[in-house]
Amino acid sequence: MSPNDDAVNEPTDATDDAGSSGDKAVMVDDAVADADTVDSEPVVEPDPDAVTITINGREVSARRGELVISAAERNDAYIPRFCYHPRMSSVGMCRQCLVEIDTGRGPMLQPSCMVPVSDGMVVDTESDTSKRAQEGILELLLANHPLDCPVCDKGGECPLQDQAFSHGPGESRYVEEKRHYEKPIPISDLVFLDRERCILCDRCTRFADEVAGDALIHFMDRGNATQVNTYPDEPFSSYFSGNTVQICPVGALTASPYRFKARPWDLEQVESTCTTCSVGCRTSVHSSRDRVLRFQGLDVSDDHGEAVNHGWLCDRGRFNFESIHADTRLGEPLVRTDAGLTATTWSSAMSITADLLGSALAAGSDSVGIIGGARGTNEDALAWARLADACGVGRRDAQVGDGIPAEILDLPRASVDDACAAATIVLIGPDLKQELPVLHLRLRAAVESGRTKVIEFTPTGSGLTAGAWRSQQYVPGALVETVRQSLSDSDVAAQLAAGPVVVVAGRPNLAEQGPAVLDAVEAVVAAAPQATVLPVLRRGNVIGALEAGLAPVSGDTDAILRAAADGQIKVLVLLGADPLRDHPDAQLARRALAGAERVISIDGHMSSSSRAADVVLPAAVMGEKSGTTTNIEGRTTPVEQKVTVHGTARPDWMIALELAQRLGHDLGVSDLNDLTAAVPHAARHRSDRVPAASAMPPSNYELRLIVSRTLYDAAVLTAASPSLAELAAGPGLSVHPADLEALGVSSGDDIRVVGPRGSVVMPACADDRLRRGTVWAAFNQVDPRGVHGDIREVIDASAVANDVRLEVVS
């Protein structure tokens, strides 16, 4: 049987499940066979790197350094492959890509994923010899493959299935017994491995080592016994494990949230964007029968050839689709009556809301505060910003006291690709691996390539510390001085002068004020005037919301909460924000919600704050609404509706428009298209900048507190995704072993954390990566048993930094 010729010429990458069948997906990896090489080569005219090669009798042009497999694919000669992946190094593992290549010594079979093009090269991908080689390799790969396609999740989108059909011999001569292994074994909480199906292509193991830097899976044993596996008792608990499932060219790796949920031919998909954090990874949303069943990463570039996520996603972003259909979703409007929150109709809820707002506004526009907007689309934010403008409400903020001043967006902006091409990255911010995971992957790749040097300022160390050129652990409260001091170092000055500088800036510590970061960034920009800035604010569409007009005009979230606590706020609008859980200062948030006369919560899920609200309006969540989102780079990309909304939920923008109408304002827009057209790009932010307080008053609490996020916490979308909810570590305090020993406490024991505000009990954990005199706790961790407390109870948001002391729990 000869291979199916149509399929041979199919120009899509059969081994890239997401890219190949996405409606609007464009694969752009062709020219990026080796991204490092290509990036570092200067582009000049005429291109000195252009070479001419012959593929299947046609002369085509290619670039020096490009691999034959990708040059051929670009020229409509698809070569079958399993191990080759354009975003990872070539290893020549599977031999499926054998074709005849003639470099002047006669045609020879060579793996086209390992051979770079050279001038005058002649390639024949369809000669009898090439075809026989490809058929032979497929027969070998199938010798041990169980062919359990009917019960395999990959069946229908499986590169092995597809290429066995297009490039295989049709029949096998093997009659011997196949290899047998225990059917899928869990290699982590999320990923299952079926070693019988594995074709040992080294994609998953290469990804884990090369891209994620978590080499927790590896080939074990040798010869016929070779298998992928973990170390005993050390699971593949990488934040990026889901990517291996996506790139596995067979059904050997499956992820628990999707196992046995659908057949690929029943899935509908649409290109969208992840809005879990502000990296804005491009995704493809897959659904069947009106339920979202999975997200896959997309590798798409913009008009300038710049890409965000190279096709990768973090596990939190990949698997939190489960929250769309969670029990905690709000499906109908609720208003507080004597019987508590009671379901009502939209018309009555809207008239109550409009009345509340109307009478509050009558008392002065400062008696209304709006917090949130980062969880929605640009259109949602714009509609609310316009409503706030129309009502004269200046007290608004899309950040929930967990970011840095919006003026950071006024500095010249860098893209992720800029950062990856920079000579120096100055990182003043959180551990990106925990907060903006895929940005961490991108920057890590730049560091690993040797191209980019990282100078980081961190209170705890980060995922980039090991590869950093300089890692400066600063004492919270002393960030600006530490940065200034470091800039006066002549080596540092020379490095900053050595080439482009990108400052990656975010909030390193939630128990320390945000404005100091802005001062520190300005100090760096003063020392390296050409520097551009990548603002790493954490929340999904926070940049889009700030730029659409939800940046503070008079008073940020801290100020709004303080005003509410003082009884100055009549109506507090929470736009997908949950200050009771998400604001660093738990006591302030509690006092504010109690002090505000009325609280209106517009949210997709029932949250702590919506439970305390007077009116709750159910909002559509991502996946249920269309619009655009803007990421840290200022890149605006679409998010698409894929399923019908839960209950009668509505997108935020629709709610804003109706409220405007009821309040008698014309926002100048009447539908989503108007809003999309009006989304501003790169607005400027001029609020009254509160200078960062600098001196920390002395206290008799001897340990400086650091609080930052970890990937898995009690954030609503994570907590509402069953597969992820269990992964949060729970409360705990990391202490330097010597400090712990001085107290006579051992790792794992409970300890009381005492601050000026109060105290909480949580288990202590020795961590020698901390400086002595500092302690660290993960943000937003909840103990379901209620035994251990929340670190936010001891944070005072108005303090420069927070100090605590530890007491032994008797």
Partner 1 sequence: MARLTPDNTTLAHEIIARYPKPKSALIPLLHLAQEQDGYVTDEAMRHIAELVGVTPAEVRGTGTFYEMFQFEPVGRYLINICGTMSCALMGADDLMHAAEETLGVHAGGTTDDGMFTLHRAECQAACTEAPCLQVNYRYRFRATPDDVRTLIDDLRAGRLDGEIPPHGTLARTRQHIPADRGVGAVDPDDVAGPPAWVTVDADTSQGAS
Which residues of the chain form contacts with ligand SF4 (CB under 6 A)? 198-204, 228, 248-250, 252-253, 274, 276-277, 279-281, 309, 313-314, 316-317, 436-438
Find the binder of ligand FES among 4, 12, 92, 683 (CB under 6 A): 92
With contacts defined by CB under 6 A, how many residues of the chain interact with ligand FES? 12
Q: Which is nearer to ligand FES, 82 or 779 (CB)?
A: 82
418 close to 502: Cβ distance less than 8 angstroms: yes
Residue ranges binding partner 1 (CB under 8 A)? 209, 214-222, 229-232, 234, 450
Q: Which is nearer to partner 1, 239 or 321 (CB)?
A: 239
Q: Cα(657)–Cα(638) distance, rounded to whole angstroms?
A: 21
Q: Which is nearer to ligand FES, 81 or 286 (CB)?
A: 81
Q: Cα(601)–Cα(615) distance, rounded to whole angstroms?
A: 6
**CB hemisphere CA count around 511 (13 angstroms):** 29
From the CA atom positions of the chain, what is the Rg in Å? Answer: 28
User: Binding partner of residue 97 among ligand SF4, partner 1, ligand FES, none, CB under 5 to 8 Å per kind?
Assistant: ligand FES
User: Binding partner of residue 780 among partner 1, ligand FES, ligand SF4, none, CB under 5 to 8 Å per kind?
Assistant: none
CB of residue 78 to ligand FES, shortest distance in Å? 12
CB of residue 235 to partner 1, shortest distance in Å? 10
Q: Which is nearer to ligand SF4, 438 or 447 (CB)?
A: 438
DSSP character string of 276-296: SBTT--EEEEEEETTEEEEEE
Point out which span in 79-87, 358-366, 416-424, 802-810 binds ligand FES (CB under 6 A).
Answer: 79-87
Q: Which is nearer to partner 1, 49 or 214 (CB)?
A: 214
Q: Which is nearer to partner 1, 290 or 768 (CB)?
A: 768
User: Binding partner of residue 216 among ligand SF4, partner 1, ligand FES, none, CB under 5 to 8 Å per kind?
Assistant: partner 1
User: Binding partner of residue 113 among ligand FES, ligand SF4, partner 1, none, CB under 5 to 8 Å per kind?
Assistant: ligand FES
Q: Which is nearer to ligand FES, 56 or 699 (CB)?
A: 56
3-class SS letters over 87-104: CCCCCCCCCCCEEEEECC
CB of residue 96 to ligand FES, shortest distance in Å? 5
Angle (CA) 486-490-491 rounded to 5° is 85
Buried/exposed 487-520: b ≥16 CB within 10 Å, e otherwise? beeeebeebbeeebbbbbbbbbbbbbbbbbbbbb
CB of residue 179 to partner 1, shortest distance in Å? 16
Q: Which is nearer to ligand SF4, 295 or 653 (CB)?
A: 295
211 close to 240: Cβ distance less than 8 angstroms: yes
User: How many Å from the N-terminal Cα to the C-terminal Cα in the chain?
Assistant: 79
CB of residue 305 to partner 1, shortest distance in Å? 29
Element holding 448 (H helix, E strand) = helix 437-448
Find the binder of ligand FES among 70, 75, 96, 161 (CB under 6 A): 96
User: Binding partner of residue 81 among ligand SF4, partner 1, ligand FES, none, CB under 5 to 8 Å per kind?
Assistant: ligand FES
Find the binder of ligand FES among 63, 74, 81, 440 (CB under 6 A): 81
CB of residue 188 to partner 1, shortest distance in Å? 12
- Interaction of residue 86 with ligand FES, rule CB under 6 A: no
Amino acid letter, 633: E
Q: Which is nearer to ligand SF4, 316 or 709 (CB)?
A: 316
Phi, psi at 778, each rounded to 5°:
-75, 140
Q: Is 695 exposed, middle or buried (0-12, 13-18, 19+ CB in 10 A)?
A: exposed
> 282-288 and 291-297 as β-strands: parallel, antiparallel, unpaired?
antiparallel
Q: Which is nearer to ligand FES, 117 or 564 (CB)?
A: 117
Q: Which is nearer to partner 1, 220 or 809 (CB)?
A: 220
- Interaction of residue 93 with ligand FES, rule CB under 6 A: yes
User: Binding partner of residue 28 among partner 1, ligand SF4, ligand FES, none, CB under 5 to 8 Å per kind?
Assistant: none
CB of residue 15 to ligand FES, shortest distance in Å? 8
Q: Is 737 exposed, middle or buried (0-12, 13-18, 19+ CB in 10 A)?
A: middle
Q: Among candidates 549, 556, 482, which has minimal Cα distance to 519?
A: 482
Q: How many CB atoms lie within 10 A of CB 697?
A: 8
82 close to 69: Cβ distance less than 8 angstroms: no
Find the binder of ligand FES among 68, 97, 559, 580 (CB under 6 A): 97
Q: Cα(434)–Cα(441) distance, rounded to whole angstroms?
A: 11
CB of residue 95 to ligand FES, shortest distance in Å? 5
**In 3-state terms, what secondary structure has residue 299?**
coil
- Interaction of residue 607 with ligand FES, rule CB under 6 A: no
Binding site for ligand FES (CB under 6 A): 81-84, 92-97, 111, 113
